[in-house]
A and B are shown apart, each in its own frame.
Chain A
Amino acid sequence: MSTTSLKASEMTGTALTMYRISTWLKSPKPYLMLIGVGFILAIWYLFVEVWQLPRFEDMPGLTEVVIEYFNPDPIYGLSIYTPEYYTHIGISLRRIAYAFFLATVLGVPLGLFLGWSRKFHEFIFPLFELLRPIPILAWVPLAIIMFSGSETPVIFLTFLASFFATTLNTMLGVQSIDESYTRAARCLGANGWQTFRHVIVPGAMPYIFTGLQISIGVAWFSLVAGEMVSGQFGLGYVINTAYTMVTYPTIVIGMITLGVTGFVTSTMVRMAGDFMMQWRVRELALGDN
């Protein structure tokens, strides 16, 4: 085991990714995962289409959804062959990108300063803690009143949820840094700004990326809420419209698409984190074996 861990610790980039994929395929994990997914699909198929249990009979069935999803000429107007499908995905992704970018660019520095300066913390944090528990849905009316059009309110709502998660985790990250590190930096002659740059920022990095993971998750959550209320495009809008128009298979298509895009974006965030924290990846790789 020690030789494989050494190998893993020496590799970087693509080689490391390929190595991880091959070990993953050799482990029982992917097969257990397939069994899990298959189990849920089987229940769906049996409950709705075979047994037609009460309360399930109106639901779109598995075969109905799959046929609609891959239909070049979809009955309800949305499948992987229709350009609108990609317009909706694109618009949702764009909103996520704007909101996530803004939340990161504003939230990380704010969190760093909240953790670093006690005075700043006392000044800002109580206000922050008052605003944070307000559910995103409660912001919907204000967002619509404050911003014109349908685009900015949705981006604002998405941003807000992400922003709180990122800021709070970054602040916790700074507070979690062992005092020995800052003391060592001062001993070694670093001034305040150098300590901030070389100790506080990298020291908080693991928490920052945990925050960004949460942030991208809640971004999708509030995006769909926003799109259902005030959007004209986007996956939340697709689901809501399909509901009011009684085109049920489209609801499920929207939901599956959200699952996949959400998974892809949060994997991207995790990969960015691994890329920026090689020290941590290597440390954890050794710890695993």
Chain B
Amino acid sequence: MSTTMNTDTNSQTIVTKGAIRIEDVVKVYDPDGAAVMAVDHCSIDIPGGEICMIVGPSGCGKTTLLNAIAGFHGITSGEIYLDNELLCGPGKMQAEPGSDRIVVFQNGALFPWKSNLENVVFGPMMEGRLSKKEVYDKALKMMADAGLSGTEHSFPGEVSSGLRRRVEIVRALMLDPKVLLFDEPYRALDSLTKSVMHEALLDIYYKNKVTIFFITHDLEEAIFLGHRLIIMSSRPCKPKKIVEVDIPHPRDYSVLTSPRFRELMEEAKGVVNEEAKKAFEAGEKEG
């Protein structure tokens, strides 16, 4: 039932940019030696403006896929396109990192030596396209919109981890990226902070429609946030099941107690557990 294609949930996000097409991507680490296959003939098509949740056991190779899109390392074969432009593929196996695809890192990567405001202006200041005043005005406005007023001149180490994540997302949005890549950004947060962060993220998303490629192993988080779940098999990583989340956006925390949410949870849980068990038996670390 939930796999019926494109329900009207997605149609309200009319975004034309930021479509990612992953075609038959293979990544083998150390091909001449140990030859560990991390990603196995993986194809995923993400329309622009979708929140796509990549779910799978830890160590299954999800991050490898994210790093390939971001351009941190290359792929062995296959192609990845952003809005029909080749990011990496034959002839250019590693994408060039760029401000159209910004990563929000697992442990957070705000520069601790710069104040929150200096972090937020970092991208545009490096780019040097806008004047300093324009950049700072924009940054102050975006921070205020994200509920970060008053923390501008604190250092990241002085604010809570939840606020830090929000600053990091605002820093990314300053460059108007097409895609935000999240690498399990909330795994270190306690569940209360997490729920606040989920609503904050959706809030930011409704204001700036971007494509979100979100890696997680938390099923509840995945269903709450995503338009679509792509459940990955354990290493080597390839899509095993796609779950369409037909709960309409905008969502808030009441969704978590809705019967539809429970149904989707049940549906996905079986597949995820099976993969986690497989990964565990294969000796991958569970996390």
Q: Which residues of B contact A283 (CB under 8 A)?
A: 112, 155, 157-158
Spot the interface stretch: A33-41, A181-189, A257-265. A181-189
Give the most central of A181, A184, A188, A191: most B CB within 10 Å: A188
Contacting A at CB under 8 A, from B155-174, are 155, 157-158, 171-172
**Contact call B123/A188, Cβ cutoff below 8 A:** yes
Asked if A203 is at the interface (CB within 8 A of a chain B CB), the reply is: yes
Report how far A114 CA is from B107 CA in the complex, Å. 27
Asked if B175 is at the interface (CB within 8 A of a chain A CB), the reply is: yes
Asked if B97 is at the interface (CB within 8 A of a chain A CB), the reply is: yes
**Contact call A188/B157, Cβ cutoff below 8 A:** no
Q: Which residues of A contact B172 (CB under 8 A)?
A: 187-188
Spot the interface stretch: A165-173, A194-202, A213-221. A194-202
Report how far A181 CA is from B122 CA in the complex, Å. 12
The interface size bin for chain B is 20 to 34
**Contact call A183/B113, Cβ cutoff below 8 A:** no
Asked if A50 is at the interface (CB within 8 A of a chain B CB), the reply is: no
Report how far A175 CA is from B87 CA in the complex, Å. 29
Asked if B72 is at the interface (CB within 8 A of a chain A CB), the reply is: yes
Q: Which residues of A contact B217 (CB under 8 A)?
A: none
Asked if A71 is at the interface (CB within 8 A of a chain B CB), the reply is: no
**Contact call A189/B123, Cβ cutoff below 8 A:** yes
From the candidates A187, A191, A202, name the one contacting B70 in the complex (CB within 8 A). Answer: A187
Asked if B105 is at the interface (CB within 8 A of a chain A CB), the reply is: yes
Q: What 1/0 mask marks residues of chain B from 117 to 130 whose CB sits below 8 Å from any chain A CB? A: 00000110011000
On whether A180 and B109 interact (CB within 8 A), knowing A187-B97, A188-B171, the answer reads yes
Asked if A279 is at the interface (CB within 8 A of a chain B CB), the reply is: yes
From the candidates B97, B101, B158, B175, name the one contacting A9 in the complex (CB within 8 A). Answer: B158
Asked if B103 is at the interface (CB within 8 A of a chain A CB), the reply is: yes
| Interface of chain A: mostly helix, strand, loop or mixed | helix
| Interface of chain B: mostly helix, strand, loop or mixed | loop
* Smallest Cβ-Cβ distance to B118: which chain A residue: A198
Asked if A190 is at the interface (CB within 8 A of a chain B CB), the reply is: yes
Q: What 1/0 mask marks residues of chain A from 83 to 120 whose CB sits below 8 Å from any chain B CB? A: 00000000000000000000000000000000000000
Report how far A181 CA is from B157 CA in the complex, Å. 15
**Contact call A198/B122, Cβ cutoff below 8 A:** yes
On whether A183 and B103 interact (CB within 8 A), knowing A9-B158, A279-B157, the answer reads yes
Asked if B102 is at the interface (CB within 8 A of a chain A CB), the reply is: yes
Give the most central of A187, A198, A203: most B CB within 10 Å: A187
Report how far A21 CA is from B10 CA in the complex, Å. 61
**Contact call B105/A184, Cβ cutoff below 8 A:** yes
**Contact call B111/A181, Cβ cutoff below 8 A:** yes
Report how far A280 CA is from B113 CA in the complex, Å. 7
Report how far A181 CA is from B112 CA in the complex, Å. 10
Q: What 1/0 mask marks residues of chain B from 199 to 224 whose CB sits below 8 Å from any chain A CB? A: 00000000000000000000000000
Report how far A228 CA is from B109 CA in the complex, Å. 51
Q: Which residues of B contact A188 (CB under 8 A)?
A: 99, 102, 122-123, 126, 171-172, 175
Asked if B98 is at the interface (CB within 8 A of a chain A CB), the reply is: yes
Asked if A286 is at the interface (CB within 8 A of a chain B CB), the reply is: yes
**Contact call B113/A279, Cβ cutoff below 8 A:** yes
**Contact call B155/A282, Cβ cutoff below 8 A:** yes
On whether A282 and B158 interact (CB within 8 A), knowing A188-B171, A199-B111, A203-B113, the answer reads yes
**What distance in Å separates the Cβ of A176 from its nearest Cβ neighbour in chain B?**
13
User: What would be 23 A-B contacts, judged by CB atoms less than 8 Å apart?
Assistant: A178-B107, A180-B106, A180-B107, A180-B108, A180-B109, A183-B109, A184-B103, A185-B126, A186-B71, A187-B70, A187-B98, A187-B103, A188-B99, A188-B123, A189-B98, A191-B126, A194-B126, A198-B126, A279-B114, A282-B155, A283-B112, A283-B155, A286-B157
The 5 A-B pairs with the shortest beta carbon distances in the complex, nearest first, are: A283-B157, A188-B123, A184-B109, A180-B109, A202-B113
Excluding A185-B122, A279-B155, 14 further A-B contacts by CB distance (< 8 Å) are A178-B107, A183-B105, A184-B109, A186-B71, A187-B98, A189-B123, A198-B111, A198-B114, A199-B111, A202-B113, A202-B114, A203-B111, A280-B157, A282-B155
